[in-house]
Amino acid sequence: MENLQKKAKELLSNKEVDLIIGYTSISEQETKPVFIKEADEASKLVFNAFCFNNLATYLTRKDVKAVKKIGIVAKGCDIRAIVNLIVENQIPREKVYILGMSCPGVKDPKNPSEINSKCRVCKVQNPHLADVIIGEKVAESNKMDQKVHHSDVEEFNKKTREEKWQFWTEQFSKCIRCYACRQACPMCYCNRCIVDLNTPQWIDTRSNPKGGLAWNLVRAYHLSGRCIDCGECERVCPVNIPLMLLNRTLQEEVQRSFDFEAGYDLEASAPLTVFEKDDQENFIR
């Protein structure tokens, strides 16, 4: 933590960055995003197993975009989002200074005594893209428990089509259309989301089963091959819709079809945004 504060202070004092987005502590088991512009405020920064927020979502906010050089405290999973934002031309690499945190895993927001299941399969506990890496290197051995993280998808796939349909229509009928999922998501950055286009209104905005289904499926499709598995949408959903079950189902489809996972490689584009001659589907030829 001292290293983080020291580095942040140095960056701000030397004017290497104009703003640092990081975490500050609310209580022993709670942190919140903090925006630091002055060097003497760097002491507010913390990093611990309760740093849930994916701060990359702020990189595309209007006022943040206007900042010349942005420092951001990021775990490996958050860096996957930053990589995607760079790949998708939303932020130039040189505009962001990544304070990459070595991260042995965060807690499960719904059950703080457990480690988050996404952290059990994390390949980037040691950040894969950063301007500085802070914290001790995490040993590679304590992970790769793919089964635990993906057991819900596997379990879900055993259901019949009708059962799946019933499950999701029930879940989506709970949706209150607050768009917390969209706003928390670093990959949901459209200047004007399709649900906000109202001349004509493409997507039903009502909080009823039809509208809830339309919205959540549209969002899931737009994220396929782009979702970086941070789980923020599910964490912030006020009515507890298991959105990551849906996102990971699509993620697995993309992996199976294109052998692709988003957010690791600055040179690789999302499969659904590019055309390759050896794509298995041939309808376009």
Partner 1 sequence: MADLFLTHDKAKELLKHIASQGIEVFGPVKKDGSHLIEKIKDQSEIDFSYFITANSIKEALFPRYEKILSYKISQEGIEVEDVSIDKSVVIFGGHPCDAASIPLMEKIFGWDYKDKFFLERREKAVILTLACEEADKDCFCTSLGYSPRGEIGSDILLERVSDQGWKLKLLSEKGKEFAKKYETYFQSTLEVDKKYPKLSDKDIPVQFDAKIVKSWIDTHFEDPLWEKIASNCWSCAACTYVCPTCHCFDITDDATMWSGMRTKNWDACTLPYFTLHASQHNPREQHFQRYRQRINHKYSIYVNLFNAISCTGCGRCSRACGAKVNILEAVKMIASAAGGK
The torsion of the CA quartet 247, 54, 60, 87, rounded to 10 degrees, works out to: -60
In this chain, which of 156, 167, 179, 260 binds partner 1, going by CB under 8 A? 179
In this chain, which of 69, 93, 128, 177 binds partner 1, going by CB under 8 A? 177
Query: Nearest approach, Cβ of 183 to partner 1 (angstroms)?
Result: 4
Q: Interaction with partner 1 in 99-158: which residues (CB under 8 A)? A: 110
Applying CB under 8 A, the site for partner 1 has a residue count of 41
Nearer to partner 1, 80 or 182 (CB): 182
Quick check: 28 binds partner 1 (CB under 8 A)?
Answer: no
The 29-68 site mask, x for binding partner 1 (CB under 8 A), equals: -xxxxxx-----------------x---xx--xxx-----
Quick check: 235 binds partner 1 (CB under 8 A)?
Answer: yes
The stretch near partner 1 (CB under 8 A) out of 78-86, 133-141, 202-210, 250-258 is 202-210
Nearer to partner 1, 68 or 192 (CB): 192
In this chain, which of 69, 120, 164, 174 binds partner 1, going by CB under 8 A? 174
Query: Nearest approach, Cβ of 267 to partner 1 (angstroms)?
Result: 29
In this chain, which of 90, 117, 142, 207 binds partner 1, going by CB under 8 A? 207
The 236-255 site mask, x for binding partner 1 (CB under 8 A), equals: x-xxxxx-------------
Answer for the pair 234, 182: CB distance below 8 angstroms, yes or no: no
Binding residues for partner 1, rule: CB under 8 A, are 26, 30-35, 53, 57-58, 61-63, 110, 174, 176-180, 182-184, 192, 196, 198, 201, 204-208, 211, 232, 235-236, 238-242
